Structure 1
Amino acid sequence: MTPVDVVLIGRNEGARLVAALDSVLGAARQLVYVDSGSTDSSVAEAEQRGATVVSLDMTTPFTAARARNAGFDALTDPQIVLFIDGDCALVPGFLDAARAHLQSNPKLGLVTGWRSEIHRDASLYNQLCDWEWRRPAGKIDACGGDMMVRAEAWQQVGGMNPQVIAAEDDEFCTRLRKAGWQLDRIPVEMTRHDANMLSFRQWWRRAVRTGHGFAQVGHLHPEYFRRERKRALIYGAAVPLLIPVSVVISWWLPLILLTIYELNYLRTAQGLIRDGLPSDEAFRHAFLLTLSKFPNLIGMAQFHVRRRTGRAMRIIEYK
């Protein structure tokens, strides 16, 4: 049976990291923890559990992609690597199921599963995260940071791009597909995540980060996130700019433009209900998804300003 190595990444995750470490003990041949400048007891907790600890150089901007690359590089003769974020705990049974699925098809470069929120109902924002994680099983274009990867595939594409600060997993998956690898999601519980997103401010910053990812990954792969960028430009910029202009033309034109948001909200809610969300949750989530176009646009603008001015691509934290 091919051994599986585990790479955990984190920064000041506290009890969440302890749970993540404990969830993989005994399941991995090698366990590497990559720390991005923690000031809590993260490094000590990892060392206590026998993990190889890699502390990133603080003079270079931290990114999750950079951390995962460092974790992979610290492994000895990796063959299959399971990457997990430090705020996630591995669900028993996933590792074996994912390994078996990966080995069943030599064209498979990556396998993922279902992530869910530990405290789903602690906030509307946690509920929204939980919905985002629950995607259909089968062949996929991309996945989040929790993934089992064939080492050969990782090495072929050069790992992750350390300059990508958000949606780095999407960018990595896009290069995998372009290199001819297949990506699958199996219908198995994979990890339990603790978003701990309890305020509107946290949600807003996360949505800004998402927009930055839309723009940066889209800059590298123009065909990817095209629809998301278009929506942000229409609902976050074009319609708001047209509203004051339309006042000059006629008093009723702004009202028509405002109905565009209402229609988008209703269409989004209906789509969420079709996906299985209870109607009360669907309408609350639809409000945030409609509103998200504005912070998404801000994030997109931040990327292009950074790109044009040569500023460092620093992470946008929401916790």
Structure 2
Amino acid sequence: MDVVLIGRNEGARLVAALASVAGVARQVIYVDSGSTDASIAEARKAGATVVTLSSAEPFTAARARNAGYAALDHPRFVQFIDGDCTLVPGYLDAARAHLEAHPQLGLVTGWRSEIHRDASLYNQLADFEWRRPAGEILACGGDMMVRAEAFDAVGGFDPEVIAAEDDEFCTRLRKAGWRLERIPQEMTRHDADTHRFSQWWRRAVRTGHGFAQVGALHPDYFTRERRRVLVYGLALPLLLLAGLLFWWPLCALVLAAYALNWWRTAQGLSRAGLPASEARRHSLLITLSKIPNMIGMATYHWRRRRNAQMRIIEYK
């Protein structure tokens, strides 16, 4: 089994990621996307094979993962890990055994959690997002173990997709007849390192870009997400503006709609196991996120209309 690590200016996080995979894989490939820190030197020091991406094309996680895969020698099972994650001991063996036992599976993933969950509200929200039930899934994040046969069958990741590239890859796997599964195993520890509202906002913009771009490629995917963004990130703000300009009672109705959405989301988060105080705070961010999501969706359509390059949206 092999490991492909990708990163860009991850610093100490990359050092920890490399240490966590040392000695547990046949091959370790590190793919660097234009780092200006000591990432490349640290990867070589750790014994990883280093692949550096040219800046002639826009950097994307999808492009980096493809380059890492291409550098492997006769892979069978490949674990992809982001450079801000550390591998949990024992996961690789469990994932490989599950793939070997179930030849219809194209990939497996496990549970990712935040290293510093309570360092910020944004880290808490990310930690909750990672924790999903085990079993058959539609898609997963970038930490995944993929069967090489399945990867080759669908042509790997789409390097043009700058966000939610993992969802897009998983969608093509499913359409090709492969099953995907999350096993009940701790997989990786993630360091979101998100402490400022501006970071969270940029991340939400990137998410919206992913909704739109992947939705354009697969209209049957992200349909609910795109519909919610159009309602809460576009229609209601326009109605609020109309109310401010022409008829102020309309403003009260719009604010009531947002309040109802916040309350229902908070109730759902509480039922999912979050403490009530956390659920209320998380719900506020989730409700607000539709606005930067809308900006991200609009950014994608503007780029597409102008035939512009799809460049990554960084938040760290």
Cross-structure match for 2:90: 93
Q: Which amino acid aligns with 2:108?
A: V
Q: Structure 1: how far apart are the matches of 2:99 and 2:181?
A: 9
Contact 2:139 2:166 in 1 (8 A): yes
**Residue of structure 2 equivalent to 1:26:** 23
Match of 2:40, SS state, is helix
Counterpart code for 1:37: G
Q: Partner of 2:11 in structure 1?
A: 14
Deviations 1:95-141 (A, max 9, x none): 01111111111100000000000000000000000000001100000
Corresponding residue number in structure 2 for 1:192: 189
Note the aligned Cα RMSD (angstroms).
1.0
- Corresponding residue to 1:297 among 263, 286, 294: 294
Report the 3-state secondary structure (helix = DSSP H, G, I; strand = E; otherwise coil) of the residue aligned with 2:78: strand
Take 2:303 and 2:311, find their aligned partners in 1: how far apart are those partners? 9
1:48 to partner: Cα distance: 1.0
Structure 2: distance between partners of 1:168 and 1:216: 9
* Residue among 146, 160, 164 paired with 2:143: 146
Matches within 5 A, 1:128-147: 128-147=125-144
The more displaced of 244-253 and 154-163 is 244-253
Tell me the residue number matched to 2:79.
82
Q: Which residue of 2 aligns with 1:269?
A: 266
For 1:53, the aligned partner's letter is: V
Moved over 2 A (4+): 243-254
What secondary structure does 2:126 align onto? helix
Instruction: Measure the CA separation in 1 of the matches of 2:157 and 2:229.
Output: 26
Match of 2:152 in 1: 155
Deviations 1:154-204 (A, max 9, x none): 000000000000000000000000000000001110000000000000000
Matches within 5 A, 1:1-319: 4-246=1-243, 250-319=247-316
Following superposition, the deviation at residue 246 of structure 1 comes to 4.3
Residues 34 and 52, structure 2, Cα contact 8 Å, conserved in 1: yes
Q: Deviations along 1:9-46, whole A, 9 cap, x unmatched?
A: 00110110011001011110001000001111111111
Task: Call closer, same or farther: CA 1:247–1:46 in 2, change over 3 Å.
Answer: closer
1:265-297 residue CA offsets vs partner (Å, 9 max, x unmatched): 000000100110011100000000000000000
Helix, strand or coil at the partner of 2:4: strand
Three-state SS of the structure 1 residue aligned to 2:138 is coil
Which amino acid letter does the alignment assign opposite residue 111 of structure 1? Answer: V
* Mapped partners of 2:109, 2:246: distance in 1: 53
- Aligned counterparts of 1:131 and 1:249: Cα–Cα separation in 2: 41
For 1:71, the aligned partner's letter is G
Gaps of 5+ in 1: none
TM-score (norm 2): 0.98
Report the Cα distance in structure 2 between the residues aligned to 1:15 and 1:244, rounded to whole angstroms.
46
Name the aligned partner's letter for residue 208 of structure 1.
Answer: V
CA 1:194 to 1:244, structure 2 compared with 1: closer, same or farther past 3 Å?
closer
Alpha-carbon offset, residue 247 of structure 1:
5.8
Q: Which amino acid aligns with 1:54?
A: V
1:227-272 Cα shifts (integer Å, max 9, x gaps):
1111111011111212343467754332122100000000000010
1:72-112 deviations in Å (ceiling 9; x for gaps): 00000000000000000000011011111111111000000
CA distance in 1, matches of 2:229, 2:255: 16
Q: What is the aligned length?
A: 316
Q: Give the partner amino acid of 1:182.
A: R
TM-score by length of 1: 0.97
SS of structure 2 residue aligned to 1:214: helix
Letter in 1 for 2:47: G
103 and 237 in structure 1: CA distance in 2 versus 1, 3 angstrom threshold: same
Letter in 1 for 2:57: T
The code of the aligned residue for 1:48 comes to K
Q: Percent identity?
A: 72
Equivalent-residue separation in structure 2 for 1:279 and 1:77 (angstroms):
50
Deviates more, 1:5-14 or 1:246-255: 246-255
Bigger Cα displacement from structure 2, 189-198 vs 246-255:
246-255
